[in-house]
């Protein structure tokens, strides 16, 4: 399609597959081509340079952009990519208003119906950020006014709404990597006000939007210097992707705000990044494209900066950490890539490094805090977990960071007193009223296996392990956290808003009591604020995520602080001692807050525990900001 677009004829094609010695292969495709006039192509000509640019970019450009460009020959591939990106960003503004009316497909359709105006909006973006001759503010304002007039003349209100939001997206853009010849995706650094609505009341400091082949992603932060993880959201089918795309920025916003509350123990504010994959998209490629695109807009390398027009007027530092579907290999690659790209502090760009860092899963840093809050909450309800038997259910599998380490720590600290009666993860569900065998769970944890791999021979006569592929397997997995009645519940994995305002009643038993009286939130946003309040009214002790799982980000802050003052070799020489001291500090910080929350709950019975947690974070953050400003 690309060659045909440039009127290049293919005479012969060759395909060679060469084994790479690593169990895979490399495929080479070669073409013998000539120009439309039947003559050899001038490789030094501008026409062939355009061909080369398009061919180098098609690996990173999404199919929708290529198809849109094919349908409208006057629209270049880069321009088509920008149209799609602006539509997808507008979707995050319009979908909360009416997700049935403003689907991504309809937004794309309305934009294409008015492709002339949509192209004009993209041309305004490119003119404003053209490094050769960036458009002045006065000319930009005049061109914007002309486009607003064209939008007003469109016959359909739907088209006018979409085009207006696309234009507002251009106005909100402060930097873009559009003109970088080897970019992996299209990245826009935008004014967060563009995405504001009543459900997003807190104003972020900065937001990045990245659109690439098979994915869209956001990075959002609430302070200039902020810390938070990068997660990948995988989807299996179009329906799931549609639902996740409707709430992509809401998830990033909610997670980054929870992080802002959580980060009260460290200097950094809260941030979060999420990449939503289309069905079939590969995690590695999309992570690399997202990270490279963010680096495009924050590195200080002259050859990059000269192609990025800066309308923010301030250098930015971004600090990432690991979250769902980010592997140690990704972490190593991200740090290496930051170093190759010339980022000023590459080892600080990503935390939880397996070498000169503190890997979260290896040391269970998040789960250490979740367990301390669980311990204190159980004691507040009259259960001494080191002396008495207690039951617990967990979402997230033995192969997960928070859930897997939670199983390890429960066995370490409480032994047989910790009776794990239910575990649900992506593979299925394991249930046993006598308690799932600890030794078998630890085997799964060490081998990185999910609950469906549990040895059925280790079950009691009343136990069962059901895979999601078995009849009713998915339904049993999805309802486990509601059905099983336990002393405690640890959400260690699962999608945001699993328990929400519309279904919290399902967590209650027949007599109207919560099926677990203690909830220590290891997973972010598993419960919505409204669901927390309803369960608290019915007597549950709910430890909000921004308290319960805060130790992961505190650990990241300690890791990066060390990376800023030590070389890799120096860090490795003290790593064992340093990590031991960090773990002690994490448990101490968790216990101080947990015990404070229990005291505050007694002295302020009219406030729920989650609200006390939020107020505590706000007071500390406000005080810290006042001290810094003074």
How far is 211 from 286, CA to CA, in rounded Å?
10
How far is 419 from 398, CA to CA, in rounded Å?
15
- Which of 422, 540, 517 is CA-nearest to residue 479? 422
Assess contact for 279 and 325: CB atoms under 8 A: no
Assess contact for 414 and 391: CB atoms under 8 A: no
Task: Report the 10 Å Cβ neighbour count for 150.
Answer: 15
How far is 356 from 334, CA to CA, in rounded Å?
14
Which residue in the list 264, 272, 288, 544 is annotated as catalytic?
272
How far is 533 from 25, CA to CA, in rounded Å?
55
Assess contact for 177 and 187: CB atoms under 8 A: yes
Q: b/e string for 99-115 if b means 16 or more Cβ within 10 A?
A: eeebbbebbbebbbbbb
The CA R_g of the chain, rounded to the nearest whole Å, is 26
Q: Is 272 a catalytic residue?
A: yes
How far is 95 from 102, CA to CA, in rounded Å?
5
Write the DSSP string, 30-86: EEEEE-TTSS---TTSHHHHHHHHHHHHTTTS-HHHHHHHHH-TTS-HHHHHHHHHH
How far is 448 from 454, CA to CA, in rounded Å?
12
Overall residue count recorded for the chain in this entry: 630
Assess contact for 345 and 298: CB atoms under 8 A: no
- Which of 103, 273, 290 is CA-nearest to residue 214? 290
Torsion of CA 450, 452, 455, 459, to 10 degrees: 110
How far is 433 from 300, CA to CA, in rounded Å?
58
Strand-strand pairing, 319-322 and 226-233: parallel
Token representation of residue 310: 């800066």
Task: Report the 10 Å Cβ neighbour count for 66.
Answer: 21
Token representation of residue 404: 């897997």
**Residues labelled catalytic:** 272
């Amino acid at each position: 399609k690309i060659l045909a677009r440039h009127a290049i004829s293919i005479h012969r094609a060759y395909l060679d597959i060469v084994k790479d010695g690593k169990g895979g292969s490399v495929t080479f495709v070669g073409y013998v081509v000539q120009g439309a006039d039947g003559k050899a192509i001038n490789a030094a000509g501008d026409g062939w340079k355009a061909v080369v640019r398009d061919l180098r970019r098609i690996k990173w450009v999404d199919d929708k952009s290529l198809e849109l460009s094919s349908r409208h020959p006057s629209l270049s591939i880069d321009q088509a990519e920008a149209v799609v990106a602006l539509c997808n960003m507008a979707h995050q503004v319009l979908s909360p208003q009416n997700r049935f009316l403003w689907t991504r497909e309809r937004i794309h359709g309305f934009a294409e119906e008015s492709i002339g105006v949509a192209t004009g909006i993209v041309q305004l973006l490119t003119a404003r950020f053209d490094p050769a001759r960036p458009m002045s503010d006065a000319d930009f304002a005049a061109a914007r006014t002309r486009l607003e007039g064209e939008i007003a003349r469109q016959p359909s209100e739907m088209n006018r709404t979409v085009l207006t939001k696309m234009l507002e997206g251009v106005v909100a853009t402060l930097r873009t990597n559009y003109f970088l010849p080897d970019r992996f995706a299209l990245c826009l650094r935008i004014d967060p006000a563009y995405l504001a609505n009543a459900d997003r009341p807190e104003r972020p400091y900065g937001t990045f939007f990245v659109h690439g082949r098979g994915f869209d992603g956001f990075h959002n932060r609430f302070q200039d210097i902020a810390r938070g993880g990068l997660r990948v959201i995988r989807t299996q089918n179009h329906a799931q992707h549609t639902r996740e795309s409707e709430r992509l920025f809401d998830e990033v916003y909610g997670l980054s705000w929870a992080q802002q509350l959580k980060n009260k123990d460290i200097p950094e504010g809260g941030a979060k990044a999420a990449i939503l994959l289309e069905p079939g998209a590969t995690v590695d490629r999309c992570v690399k494209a997202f990270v490279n695109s963010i680096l495009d807009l924050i590195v200080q390398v002259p050859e990059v900066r000269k192609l990025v027009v800066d309308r923010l007027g301030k250098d930015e530092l971004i600090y990432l950490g690991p979250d769902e579907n980010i592997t140690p290999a990704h972490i190593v690659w991200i740090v290496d890539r930051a170093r190759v790209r010339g980022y000023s502090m590459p080892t600080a760009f990503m935390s939880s490094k397996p070498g000169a860092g503190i890997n979260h899963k290896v040391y269970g840093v998040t789960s250490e805090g979740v367990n301390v809050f669980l311990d204190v909450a159980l004691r507040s309800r009259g259960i001494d977990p080191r002396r008495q038997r207690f039951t617990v259910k967990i979402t997230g599998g033995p192969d997960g960071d928070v859930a897997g380490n939670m199983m390890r720590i429960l066995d370490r600290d409480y032994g047989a007193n910790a009776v794990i009666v239910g575990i649900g993860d992506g593979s299925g569900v394991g249930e046993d009223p006598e308690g799932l065998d600890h030794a078998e769970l630890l085997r799964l944890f060490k081998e990185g296996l999910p609950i469906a791999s549990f040895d059925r021979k280790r079950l009691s006569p009343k136990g069962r392990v059901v895979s999601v592929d078995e009849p009713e397997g998915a339904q049993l997995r999805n309802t486990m956290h509601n059905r099983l009645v336990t002393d405690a519940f640890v959400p260690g994995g699962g999608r945001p808003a699993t328990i929400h305002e519309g279904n919290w009643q399902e967590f209650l038993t027949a007599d109207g009591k919560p099926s677990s009286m203690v909830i220590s939130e290891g997973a972010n946003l598993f419960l919505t604020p409204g669901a927390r309040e309803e369960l608290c009214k019915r007597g549950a002790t709910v430890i909000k995520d921004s308290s319960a799982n805060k130790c992961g980000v505190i650990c990241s802050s300690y890791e990066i602080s060390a990376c800023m003052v030590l070389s890799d070799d120096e860090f490795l020489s003290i790593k064992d001692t340093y990590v031991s001291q960090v773990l002690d500090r994490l448990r101490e910080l968790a216990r101080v807050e947990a015990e404070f929350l229990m005291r505050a709950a007694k002295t302020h019975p009219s406030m729920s525990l989650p609200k006390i947690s939020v107020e505590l974070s706000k007071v500390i953050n406000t005080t810290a900001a006042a001290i810094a400003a003074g």
